[in-house]
Amino acid sequence: MSQKKSTPDFLLILLTFSLLAIGLIMVYSASAVWAEYKFHDSFFFAKRQLLFAGVGIIAMFFIMNVDYWVWRDWSKVLLIICFVLLVLVLIPGVGMVRNGSRSWIGVGAFSIQPSEFMKLAMIAFLAKYLSEHQKKITSFKQGMLPALALVFAAFGMIMLQPDLGTGTVMVGTCITMIFVAGARISHFVGLGMVGLAGFAGLVLSAPYRIKRITSFLNPWEDPLGSGFQMIQSLYAIGPGGLLGLGLGQSRQKFFYLPEPQTDFIFAILAEELGFIGGSLVLLLFSLLLWRGVRIAFGAPDLYGSFLAIGIISMVAIQVMINIGVVTGLMPVTGITLPFLSYGGSSLTLMLMAIGVLLNISKHARY
């Protein structure tokens, strides 16, 4: 299987760095007012994001040089560790509650989100499973069902926190991987039906999810409650127009949009840089997707192919959900925009995932 190593995909590195640069600028622009108010240092968030980016880039280049089969060999162990962490995080006193979800584990700045790690561990493990059981994937019982059972077990654990955003991204990613592996379309249709019913059940079981659904359909119904973030986001995007108000000129970042540097950073970007700027970011993500799929095409083996498509679809799905939420296409779920949103663990994990992708690209033949 081993091939002669070639160079990594430089365009992928360039795209990643471009998005990182835009992200750093936007984190500064969006957070400056808030940072000045809270910490009397307008660079507070920007400096930390720069630090995360530095750590992330180092990790990315390090992992780029770790042959990706390591992840196949260690995937089972990683998956088990992640499951244990997902159990631990649910225990009050061990897991910490932030924004209504018990998703964090650790101490202060050194806390992590096990669900974020689970996403990656699951991709690594599922790629291994699919590459080893590809022959049986057309069989529902023997190929698809075990994979799905594992994925939904993890999803179930994540939903206990609850963290709908991360869970959805993980499920979406895994289904994409199973799809690429060659599962039957008819199985997906059936699965879709079940999924729809399951989603409806989930929504009905927790009232706050219903509110999120209705607030997305008409945020002005409850402008100070469930519709608040949506409205504030639209108040940013709408006035942006074609060319935007200009970099740094956002009005909604003046405490109207809560924590504008995190999940809703794209709204501030669209406000300041307009439709042109927003479209450029979407174009960059589309190109990133293209490079990712291209690496999957060129991967020397099925494992590399599935791992690559898993990583790139995770990035793409997270982008779709985040910007879908920000523009009002979807109910608010609360996930970050890869490379752009402020946040240490999100950014470093994303860069590490790109590192894996880069390593595959080094082995790829097109």
Residues that bind other proteins (CB under 8 A): 33, 37, 134-135, 137-138, 176, 179-182, 234-235, 237-242, 249, 251-252, 254-256, 270, 274-275, 278-279, 282, 285-286, 289-290, 293, 296-297, 302, 305, 309, 313, 316, 319-320, 323-324, 327-329
Q: Least separation, in Å, of the C-beta of 286 and other proteins?
A: 5
Which residue, chain included where needed, has tokens 């989100």?
113
Cα 259 from Cα 236, distance rounded (Å)? 13
Cα 328 to Cα 230, 231, 238, 267: the distances in Å are 7, 9, 11, 11
Q: Which CB, 89 or 312, lies closer to other proteins?
A: 312
Q: Which CB, 61 or 235, lies closer to other proteins?
A: 235
301-339: buried (b, 16+ CB within 10 Å) or exposed (e) per residue?
bbbbbbbbbbbbbbbbbbbbbbbebbbbebbbbbbbbbb
Q: Helices 185-205 and 164-181: crossing angle, nearest 10°?
A: 170
Q: Least separation, in Å, of the C-beta of 283 and other proteins?
A: 8
Q: Are 125 and 151 in contact (CB under 8 A)?
A: no
Residue 314's nearest CA partner among 333, 340, 289 is 289
Q: Are 366 and 298 in contact (CB under 8 A)?
A: yes
Q: Least separation, in Å, of the C-beta of 191 and other proteins?
A: 16
Q: Least separation, in Å, of the C-beta of 42 and other proteins?
A: 13
Q: Which CB, 78 or 293, lies closer to other proteins?
A: 293
Q: Which CB, 65 or 279, lies closer to other proteins?
A: 279
121-152: buried (b, 16+ CB within 10 Å) or exposed (e) per residue?
bbbbbbbbbbbebeeebeebeebbeebbebbb
Q: How many CB atoms within 10 Å of residue 340?
A: 30
Q: Least separation, in Å, of the C-beta of 176 and other proteins?
A: 6
Q: Which CB, 61 or 275, lies closer to other proteins?
A: 275
Q: Least separation, in Å, of the C-beta of 323 and other proteins?
A: 5
Q: Least separation, in Å, of the C-beta of 343 and other proteins?
A: 21
Which residue, chain included where needed, has tokens 């075990």?
146
Q: Least separation, in Å, of the C-beta of 255 and other proteins?
A: 4
User: Which amino acid, one-letter code, is at 79?
Assistant: L
Which residue, chain included where needed, has tokens 């059940």?
201
Q: Which CB, 157 or 299, lies closer to other proteins?
A: 299
Q: Which CB, 43 or 235, lies closer to other proteins?
A: 235
Q: How far is CA 336 from the centre of its chain?
A: 6
Q: Which CB, 82 or 337, lies closer to other proteins?
A: 337
